[in-house]
A and B are shown apart, each in its own frame.
Chain A
Amino acid sequence: MGGKCPHRNVKKRRYSHKTARRTKFELKGDDMVYAQLNKPDEEKTPLPVDEDLPGMGQYYCLHCDRYFSNVTVRDEHFKTKRHKKRVKQMMGPAPHTQLDADLAAGMGMPDNGPKLMSM
C-alpha cells in the first residue's frame, strides 16, 4: 500500500494532510487487482506506452499497482517485504464484494429468472 500514515507519537511528522496520503487513495482497489491477476493469459495485453508514467509505463507491478523506471528498480521492489505481503494476500481468498455483503446479510443468491433466449 502506498502513502504515509499519520503517526501520533512523532509530533514533527504528522501526515494528516491529504496530500501526504494521496497515493494511498489513488491505488487500485483489491478486487480490481485480484481480477487483473486472475485473468486468463489470452486476455492479457502488453503494457501501453505512456510518457507520463515512470519508465514509459513499461515496468509495472500488478500486485502493488506501481510503475517503476527500469527493470532493476522493479526487481528490487519484488524483493521487498511489502510486495511479498501483497502477493501472499492476493493468493488468498477473493476480496470482499457486494455479493458477499448481501449473503452475509441473510439474502439468497440473486434470482435472474429463467433464460428468455435459448442459445
Chain B
Amino acid sequence: MRLEKCWFCSSTVYPGHGIQFVRNDAKIFRFCRSKCHKNFKMKRNPRKVKWTKAYRRVHGKDMTQDSTFEFERKRNRPERYDRNLAESVLKAIPKIDKIRVTREERHHKNRMKGNKEKLLKEAVKELEQGISLVKAPSVLQQDPSLTLPKIKVKVSQQQSEETPAMEE
C-alpha cells in the first residue's frame, strides 16, 4: 500500500481520505481534502499559496536540503520480504524521525535569530513616535519625570504606568 502525497499541499493522503482527479491525458492528481481540491479547481498555484509545503520550501521557511529526506521516497521496484531487514527498518524509523525533528528545530531557530531584537527596536520606535497620543507634549515638558527613559529594557514597564494616568 502506498501513501501518496497531496498534489496541492503535499500532506499524506491516507486510505479512504481525499479525492483523486484523472485528467484526460491520464495524469493523476490526488488531494487530501476538499480544501485542496477546490484550490486546484480555482487554478491556484501552490507555490503562491502560503499554507502549502511548496510555498514554504520555495521561500526558505522549511529545511530543504537534508540527508534525512533520502529515506522516504517512491521506490518503483519490488523489494523481497526479509524479516531481519524489516525489523531493522522499524528500529531505524523513530531514530531518523528524531534526528529530523531536531534538525528542523535548529533550522527554525536559525531562521528566527535576530527577530527579538528587531521587534524590540520597532516597539521602542513606535513608543517614541506615539507617546504624544498617550500624553500631551506640553504635559511632558512640564513634568520631565514622565519622559521616556533611555534604557531600552524598561520600555514596556514605563508604558503600563502611563496608561492609567490617561484615564484620570
With contacts A101-B10, A108-B70 taken as known, whether A96 is within 8 angstroms of B54 at the C-beta atoms is yes
Please give the distance in Å from B113's CB to the nearest CB on chain A: 23
Residue of A nearest to B12 (CB): A105
Chain B neighbourhood of A104, CB < 8 A: 10, 52-54, 56-57
In the assembled complex, the Cα of A102 lies from the Cα of B6 at a distance in Å of 8
Question: A8 to B10, alpha carbons, bound, how many Å?
Answer: 32
Contact of A107 among B43, B47, B74 (CB under 8 A): B74
| Known contacts A98-B7, A101-B7, A113-B76; A108/B71 CB under 8 A | yes
Q: Quick check: A29 and B76 within 8 Å, CB to CB?
A: no
B28 interface residue (CB < 8 Å to A)? yes
- A106 part of interface (Cβ distance < 8 Å): yes
A1, A100, A101, A109 interface centre (most CB from chain B within 10 Å) = A101
Q: Is the CB of B76 within 8 A of A112?
A: yes
Expressed in whole angstroms, the minimum distance between the Cβ of A17 and any Cβ of chain B is 16
For B43, the closest partner residue in chain A by CB is: A1
- Interface size class on chain B is 20 to 34
Q: Flag if B46 contacts A96 (CB, 8 Å).
A: yes
B46 touches A102 (CB 8 A): no
Q: Is B33 an interface residue (CB 8 A)?
A: no
Asked if B10 contacts A111 (CB within 8 A), the reply is no
| Tier of interface size on chain A | 20 to 34
Contact B53–A107 (Cβ < 8 Å): no
The 9 lowest CB-CB distance pairs between A and B, nearest first, are: A113-B77, A108-B73, A105-B10, A104-B53, A110-B74, A104-B10, A104-B57, A105-B5, A104-B54
Interface residues of A (CB under 8 A from B): 1, 24-25, 29-32, 95-96, 98, 100-113
* 15 A-B pairs whose Cβ atoms sit less than 8 Å apart in the complex: A98-B7, A98-B29, A98-B30, A100-B46, A101-B54, A102-B74, A104-B53, A106-B100, A107-B5, A110-B73, A110-B75, A111-B76, A111-B77, A112-B76, A113-B76
